[in-house]
Structure 1
Amino acid sequence: MTRINGRSIYIRAFKTDDAEELLALQLTNRDFFERFSTHRDNDFYTLEGQKTRIKSYAKSWELDQQYMFGIFTLDKDALIGTVNLFEVLRGSLQGAFIGYFLDQKQNGKGYMTEAVKLVVAYAFEHLKLHRIEAGVMPHNIGSIRVLEKAGFHKEGIAVKNVKINGRWEDHQMLARINPND
């Protein structure tokens, strides 16, 4: 089990035992998360749905396609968010996209910046990726600041590239390059 510690949080792969806590996080933050995410089926908000997702994460990890981590506080060992590398590309690209969600009550405390830094370090040091990309709706200033604090640079606007809540949304594209390449 990969566990990576930071100053105030740690990240690790999900276990099926985490399903109840993950479901509670999703239900508590449903309205908040859905403002920034693609459509979620009804089974997403069930315990069985979360267990299925966790099993899917493990399979994607084994196949080097996606790496999903839970974000846990060091002091209370509480799940406060998720951070993932997805669309992992090998060959001549050696890259991935990063995505994340944080409990709305935990925003502004530096947890997500710390989690992003931990995942990027994992991507560069263990997965040997060259480039990590992120797309953020331009009005989501907090998320853009998280990425900039974690060393990402702005690259431009991708016009109408992600469908969120039935609308094609523009995204500010940011990236970080492995400094060892």
Structure 2
Amino acid sequence: MLGLSYFGRDRLRLAGARVTLRIPATSDYEEWSSLRRRSRAFLEKWEPRWANDELDRAAWRQRVRRYREEISRGTGVPFLIVLNDTDSVVGGISVGNIRRGVAQSGQIGYWMGEPYAGRGLMGEAVGELAKYCFGPLRLHRIEAACIPDNLRSIRVLEKAGFTREGLLRSYLRINGDWQDHYLYALLAGEYHDHGSRGAAVES
């Protein structure tokens, strides 16, 4: 990021003990769409309503183009979460809405395929993304919004050191309905005090 092109970042990998975060590619379509399709009932209640062409190949190509634009503009960095031992795609995580100047902040979002939920993989992925945000991206603050009923996501954020700052009323339209969200945030100094582990590498 920071003025670099997408193609200068397509090999970015954030490597943890069990999972690695890497930039999505057009060739990931089959695996991504298969996992999302199998996990649809599990994911829909936490996400914006799926479009009719949500899992179509053309929609995936458009999604990847948008990812490249975000990276090139410096407004976001999306990742797929893959298992280190099998290289299987298990979910996704991103930092977006990056603001510079006096803010130096970004918002994170994530999803995990149903077969891989409950294994602690998302906690590791959030830790790796936080290290990247407070390291190479030099952000001061990262935020996450969470539906109050999503207890699994709340545990992930709190274990990663995020602090609940308040309730955002009717904040996002999720699965067709406007939903309240808790606002969580993590500051750079708090992250370093929390002692999160992981490694960000480029290959």
Query: TM-score with structure 1 length normalisation?
Result: 0.96
**Shift, 1:24, TM fit:** 1.1
Question: Which runs of 5 or more structure 2 residues have no equivalent in the other structure?
Answer: 1-10, 193-203
Matching residue's letter, 1:52: Q
Alignment match, 2:177:
167
**Counterpart in the other structure of 1:85:** 95
Partner of 1:101: helix, strand, or coil?
strand
Match for residue 196 of structure 2?
A: none
User: RMSD of aligned C-alpha atoms?
Assistant: 1.1
Counterparts of 1:95 and 1:8 in 2: how far apart (Å)?
27
- Alpha-carbon deviation of 1:99? 0.4
In 1, Cα distance between equivalents of 2:52 and 2:97: 24
Return structure 1 stretches of 4+ with deviation > 3 angstroms: none
- 8 Å Cα contact 2:74-2:98 kept in structure 1: yes
Which amino acid in 2 is paired with 1:109? R
Aligned counterpart, 2:43: 33
Pick aligned residue for 2:19 from 1, 4, 9:
9
Mean Cα deviation higher: 20-29 or 63-72: 20-29
Post-superposition offset of 1:168: 1.2
Matched with 2:66 is 56
| 3-state SS, counterpart of residue 142 of structure 2 | strand
Q: Which residue among 152, 157, 163 is the counterpart of 2:162?
A: 152
Quick one: which amino acid aligns to residue 155 of structure 1?
A: E
Secondary structure of 2:28's aligned partner: helix
| TM-score normalized with structure 2 length | 0.86
2:97–2:106 Cα contact (<8 Å) kept: yes
Q: How many residues align?
A: 180
Unaligned runs of 5+ in 1: none
Deviations along 1:63-116, one digit per CA (max 9) or x if unpaired, are: 111111000000110000000111111111111111000011211111000000
